Chain A
Amino acid sequence: MAEADNKLAEKTVELVRSRFGEAVLEVVEHRGETTIVVPAEKVPAIAKLLRDHAALRYNFMADLTAVDWPERVPRYDVVYHLLSLETRAVIRLKTRVGQPGEEHPAVPTVSTIWPTANWYEREVYDLFGITFRGHPDLRRILMPEDWTSHPLRKDYPLTGIELPEPHWGGQVAFQTPLPEGIGRQTMRINQSRPPTPPRPEPEPGE
């Protein structure tokens, strides 16, 4: 089982390398899974090749998601999980986007190749802020329409942002100064215990 998958994954890597050469930035194999890293601009062409090639036929896009690495340049990984229902081939395609200062990095859409990518790309836009060029209907899907920031980014606080009173279901931009008394929460994990207060200063003379 694993051997058959590996052969098809190797074949996929060979195919992409032979057609796209330097576009293959990196190939990683870990725990029996193969990942091909390609530049963002080449994604639709490679996707089309993988979908239509007679020996591989990746007709099922299982998943499209992103990972935020704020310390790294480029910042985001956009990850595609592809599956072939006919040949049982499995591959992960990855692209890296997000230069410093770029608020909404752009990747060409694959919703013309796999229609299911429509909602997945909307979700990535909603939660990470990565836009998809050529997407027919790029708008938020999980968060309210007037949300201004992107929750799954690492700099978005886990417990959310205090909404100033009164708020009408919307949200102020992250950089807007909030009225006095409203706190802006930093990302604190392990909220089950309140933070221990600092030890009181010893009296002079003690």
Chain B
Amino acid sequence: MQLGEQTELHITDSVQVDETTRVDTMTINMGPQHPSTHGVLRLILTLEGETVVKAVPDIGYLHTGIEKTAESKSYFQALVVTDRMDYLAPLSNNLGYSLAVEKLLGIEEMPPKAVYTRVLLVELQRIASHLVWLGTSALDLGAQSMFLYCFREREMILDIFELVSGVRLMTSYIMPGGLQADLPPGFDEKVQEFLNVFPERLREYHTLLTNNQLWIERTKGVAPISAKEAIAWGCSGPVLRGSGVAWDVRKMFPYSGYEQFDFDIPVGSNGDVYDRYLVRMLEMEESLKIVRQALEGMPDGPYQISDRKIVPPPKWAVATNMEALIHHFKLYTEGYRPPKGEVYQRIESPKGELGFYLVSDGTARPYRMHVRAPSFANLEALPKMVEGQLLSDVIAAIGSIDIVLGEVDR
């Protein structure tokens, strides 16, 4: 063959598939280390060509015994381990845990400033969590610049958290009894700055993806789940709402003052990846609404309940006041002892229904803390969504369910 001569390409030797062709399935491992599984998730996929015949999730790679650890800590200390479960929305976990402990203790009244601040921070946390979801799931499907944009916005939210609590991610700022510390000066301005910037950025994300032909082809009709199946498989949050079930714990069982805020619940119709994407995008807008209302209506007042048997006194009081010293000592050595009983507190975390089941036996340590993780049930429904779809749809599906392995495995 001479250099420069092109040989013709003959595609006559391709395999003819007829009744005599044996079609074998291949079992492959989408291993615990994979950039698109959003954590250490192992999927054992049985493929026929590119079509998924069977998908079996194998979890437990991030199991750290959080529930067992909480049994050996006082109620105040156990707050810190709750951050680490859904590590993309720690304030939500803290809120769920704090509400559960407050229920156990029988605390009915929370100061309004604490209520409004909790709502404000949890909604900011929801936006941050959805930004991570958007960035990573768009990245998985090839829209790489989304990742950088979303994390740029998320940095603004993490700066707000750092201003308030000193910690960017695992804040433990919402504690049983109120907040860990008062809102610092400069808080209002920083949140307002975010509120000024973010709506425009959200519109940008919409222009990049929502009507993008490539995005639509990758996500419309992909990994659908019907409303009936979603309910039967225990799905909650955007997965359930994407399938058309209008269920949001903030509206159905309002907690922490949510009944005072005016917001809508976006609900999809087809239950495919595209609907779940739209639900989360619109949820970010609704969260912005709530943050705006909370900021404008922020009342003055104490940031904790005044019962010093539950909430530690401020440091300056400990140095000068005898009762404060005794309260401080008792709280940090032993902790408060809720009466015997059990509670189940559900909240709407960015991933779905997060439930805290706390059993108290009258001592200073929770006898049993069980966390109903939304990602656990949502992941259980993954095989239903994915069987019969293509391998690349599995990636889209995992991204759309928005699992966090920390809470799946605990």
Contacts and interface: CB of A to CB of B under 8 A. Distances in A.
A116 B234 contact: yes
Contact of A30 (B231, B342, B380): B342
A110 to B, nearest CB: 12
A19 interface: no
Given A144-B60, A152-B67, A189-B72, A118 B380 contact: yes
Contact of A85 (B67, B72, B247): B247
Q: For chain A, give the interface size range.
A: 35 or more
A68 B67 CA distance: 13
A35 B341 CA distance: 11
A79 B358 CA distance: 12
A67 B359 contact: yes
A114 B232 CA distance: 6
A54 interface: no
B60 A67 contact: no
B407 interface: no
A16 B93 CA distance: 34
**Chain B residues touching A, majority SS:** mixed
Contact of B68 (A61, A85, A114, A151): A151
Contacts of B372: 62-63, 65, 81
Q: Among A63, A92, A142, find the residue whose CB has the most chain B CB atoms closer than 10 A.
A: A63
Contacts of B342: 30, 33, 35, 92
Contacts of A1: 253-254
A190 interface: yes
Q: Among A59, A62, A90, A151, find the residue whose CB has the most chain B CB atoms closer than 10 A.
A: A62
A33 B342 CA distance: 9
A134 interface: no
Contact of A62 (B65, B69, B346): B346
Nearest to A126: B60
A120 B372 CA distance: 10
A115 B233 contact: yes
B247 A31 contact: no
Nearest to B67: A152
Contacts, number: 90
Given A62-B234, A116-B234, A31 B103 contact: yes
Given A144-B60, A151-B65, A79 B234 contact: no
A62 B247 CA distance: 13
Contacts of B268: none
Interface string B20-39: 00000000000000000000
B106 A114 contact: no
A114 B368 contact: no
Q: For chain B, give the interface size range.
A: 35 or more
Contacts of B65: 151, 158
Given A33-B343, A141-B60, A116 B67 contact: no
B231 A142 contact: no
Contacts of B341: 30-31
A144 B234 CA distance: 25
B60 A63 contact: no
A63 B252 contact: no
A10 to B, nearest CB: 18
A119 B380 contact: yes
A73 interface: no
B72 A81 contact: no
Interface string A74-91: 000001010001001010
Q: Among A30, A31, A67, find the residue whose CB has the most chain B CB atoms closer than 10 A.
A: A31
Contact of B377 (A90, A116, A141, A158): A116
Contacts of A63: 344, 355, 357, 370, 372
Contacts of B346: 62
Interface string B387-410: 000000000000000000000011
B254 A81 contact: no
9 contacts: A62-B355, A63-B370, A65-B357, A81-B372, A114-B234, A115-B232, A141-B59, A144-B60, A158-B68
Given A33-B344, A189-B365, 17 more contacts: A31-B104, A35-B342, A60-B231, A62-B346, A79-B357, A114-B234, A115-B233, A116-B381, A119-B377, A140-B60, A141-B60, A142-B59, A143-B60, A158-B69, A158-B71, A158-B72, A190-B72
Listed from nearest, the 9 A-B pairs whose CB atoms lie closest are: A116-B234, A142-B60, A189-B72, A63-B372, A65-B370, A30-B341, A142-B63, A67-B368, A119-B380
